[in-house]
Amino acid sequence: MLTTILLIACTDALDVALPALVLAPDTLALSAVAGSFATAEFTVSNGAQPSEAAAPYSPELLLGESAELPGLTTAGGPYCLHWTAPSCGVVVAAVSTRTTCADGVAEGGPQLALPAGCAATVTAVFAPTVAGELIGAARVSTSFGPWSSVDAPEVWEQSGDPADPVQEVALYGNASAEPAGRLVIDPPLAEMPWRWPDGAATDLAMTLRNIGGAAITVGSPSFSSCSPAWSVVDAPSPGTPIAAGETAAFTLRHTPTEPDAEVCGLVFGEDDDPTSPAGELRFAKPTWGMAPLVSILSPAPGDVLPVDEKVTISFTIDDDDSPPSGVYITIWSAQHGTLGAGVAPDDDAIVEFDVDAGVFQSGADTIRVSLLDWEGFTATDAVAFRVYSPAAEDWDGDSWGYHEGDCDDDNPAAFPGALETGDGVDEDCDGTPDDGAPELDNDRDDFTEAEGDCNDHDDDVSPIATETANNTDDDCDGVVDEMTGRHDDDGDGYSELGNDCDDDDATVNPAAADACDGVDRDCDGVFLACPAATGGFLRATGDVCHPGDTVALAAFTPEGATAWGWTAEDGSISDKTEAVTTLSCPEEPGALLISLTATDADGVQAFDLSTIEVVPADWSLDAVVSLRAR
């Protein structure tokens, strides 16, 4: 088992008395029940001893500055730090905006300069939300350079601790929890599939799941802001216990009486009880608003019908939003105007309409069937045909004469209703050559059917269009609604609307097993805590170097460590996987953070951090302390 790691950065030693950063103690142990908090304190002081010969001058220690927590930073999740200026310290910069720690005190504090022997007290607040061992660190950094206090405009040249400019206090938190039951509705979002309100019901299998650590009893189901269309059947009786980790099934039933959208809630128990499981219920007409479809079956295009016989017009209706009996139909003739209007006599998909003999006169005619559904969407289909007349002249034998609308009676392929072929000829005699031909861009979106436009009558659909959640293949790739919340992009059976919190990773979905890998694989908003590495808290020693200097790095570990991993914010590490390596200091001066992770044969890891201060090349590595008159 891996227990200890020591990270050492080696360079020239300092041989003069300097401001010294001292943290005491260097380890804090805190315990709290998950959901509460505990506090502990440590001090930050300047351990330098002023020279009697230099009195009344004293070496000052200037704490570093951070955008989030000036002077002090914290890492470790459930930890929060706050401090105030001691009477012996100097406030360099105040903090204007701060959040609040669990103990009710504002997080952070002012940036400070500490004279020799001066100390500031820092309070660490441990507020865990889950049970387990939670390890963190409170980091204190020092800074170099000119500064002025809030109350005095004079500019002082102050120094940080060049030997150990960044130090940390280990935070060991132990969070315990009382076992309790917790019921959830699975899935938490029940979205009923669209159906026309025809009196039929849709059932959805649901589950009550106890994800807590103790048994819990079931409350009575109730709805919030729901219509009477919703009901719960086959649910466990109120007061029924469900053991930890167990489930109970129930059925959610929806019998819509109106086509209106609805969003409401379901709860088992009291609405104001935070332990009562709740879910959201949705019923809405499709957001994509599909238009109906109509297709004339007879007469067929180009049919020649006897003038003295009854004509039957038959057509099909297809509408996902309503039954045929809910669609308004208009049948129109170019010769005679409106032939009939109304709704289908029943819900059969095929509608037939009879026109008595003699209504259609000799010559060319066009029948148009138009639909209007309850959402306001329309659809139209038309067919051109000819009523036979012995007097009609048809020179090219296509059953259409000049007086019946044949625009080229020498071309049997040209007559009203003929198919356009994209050859520059007006085959259908409508006055526009090639309209509707695959080679023509009918919707003017720069793509023809021959170039992959899968709907050349909609300029929002083309091979370069952006896919949207509208139940339409907008980009003509053969897949509908991909890369939207409706589509299961990673093929794991769940879309984003189905509570998949990462639809690009098939191993992440509400049914996946969670793992200790920093990923919320079951999409429940909780990350599975990993077992912590054993052993004492590790601290590293920082140092100073010039740009381009080579610094030796060594990891001292007990038997058991099998792998090492070095990282640096800048600069170059010669070998990042060996226990002993070297670092080339970067060209830009500043604080350089180095980290080391060691892993044993069981996969347990431990880590450590250290900081090296890179100073300009013309600076001496023998630190010089600026003094301030007292």
Which amino acid belongs to residue 368?
A: R
CB-count exposure of residue 629 (10 Å: 0-12, 13-18, 19+): exposed
Structure tokens that stand for 172 in this block? 């060991």
For residues 62 and 520, the model is more confident at: 520
Band of the pLDDT at 10, cuts 50, 70, 90? very low
Count the Cβ atoms, other than its own, within 10 Å of residue 218. Answer: 22
Please compute the mean of the pLDDT values over residues 361-376 and round it to a whole number.
Answer: 81
For residues 419 and 533, the model is more confident at: 419
Q: What are phi and psi of 590, to 5 degrees?
A: 145, 180
pLDDT over 70 (residue 398): yes
- Per mean pLDDT, which range of 247-256, 306-315, 514-523 is the poorest? 514-523
The pLDDT score that the predictor gives to residue 59 is 58
CB-count exposure of residue 473 (10 Å: 0-12, 13-18, 19+): middle
Please compute the mean of the pLDDT values over residues 551-567 and round it to a whole number.
Answer: 73
Q: What are phi and psi of 451, to 5 degrees?
A: -100, 10
Q: What are phi and psi of 326, to 5 degrees?
A: -100, 10
Please compute the mean of the pLDDT values over residues 405-412 and round it to a whole number.
Answer: 80
Name the average pLDDT for the chain: 75
For residues 35 and 425, the model is more confident at: 425
Nearest to 313 by CA among 326, 325, 299: 299
pLDDT over 90 (residue 251): yes
- Cα–Cα distance between 496 and 492 in angstroms, integer? 11
The model's pTM: 0.30
Nearest to 75 by CA among 170, 165, 174, 176: 170
94 to 25, 67, 108: CA distances (angstroms): 26, 12, 10
- Cα–Cα distance between 545 and 330 in angstroms, integer? 88
For residues 240 and 165, the model is more confident at: 240
The per-type count for the chain, helices as H runs and strands as E runs, is 0, 41
Please compute the mean of the pLDDT values over residues 238-264 and round it to a whole number.
Answer: 87
Could you give the 3-state DSSP secondary structure of residue 412? coil
Which H helix or E strand runs over 186? strand 183-186
The CA-based dihedral angle spanning residues 410, 411, 416, 417, taken in that order and rounded to the nearest 10 degrees: 170
Q: Which domains does the chain have, with CATH numbers?
A: 6-178+532-614 (2.60.40.10), 188-283 (2.60.40.10), 293-451 (2.60.40.10)
Q: Are the C-beta atoms of residues 481 and 469 closer than 8 Å to each other?
A: yes
Q: CB neighbours of 249 closer than 8 A, spacing ≥ 6?
A: 205, 206, 207, 208, 234
> What tens digit of pLDDT does each residue of 285-296 get?
655 567 788 899
> What tens digit of pLDDT does each residue of 85-139 get?
888 888 877 766 567 888 888 888 888 888 888 888 989 888 888 877 888 888 8
Could you give the 3-state DSSP secondary structure of residue 242? strand
- Cα–Cα distance between 587 and 594 in angstroms, integer? 16
Q: CB neighbours of 59 closer than 8 A, spacing ≥ 6?
A: 17, 18, 19, 46, 48, 50, 116, 159, 625, 627
Count the Cβ atoms, other than its own, within 10 Å of residue 364. Answer: 21
Report which listed range, 7-16, 103-112, 187-196, 216-225, is most confident: 216-225
- Cα–Cα distance between 18 and 142 in angstroms, integer? 12
For residues 286 and 82, the model is more confident at: 82
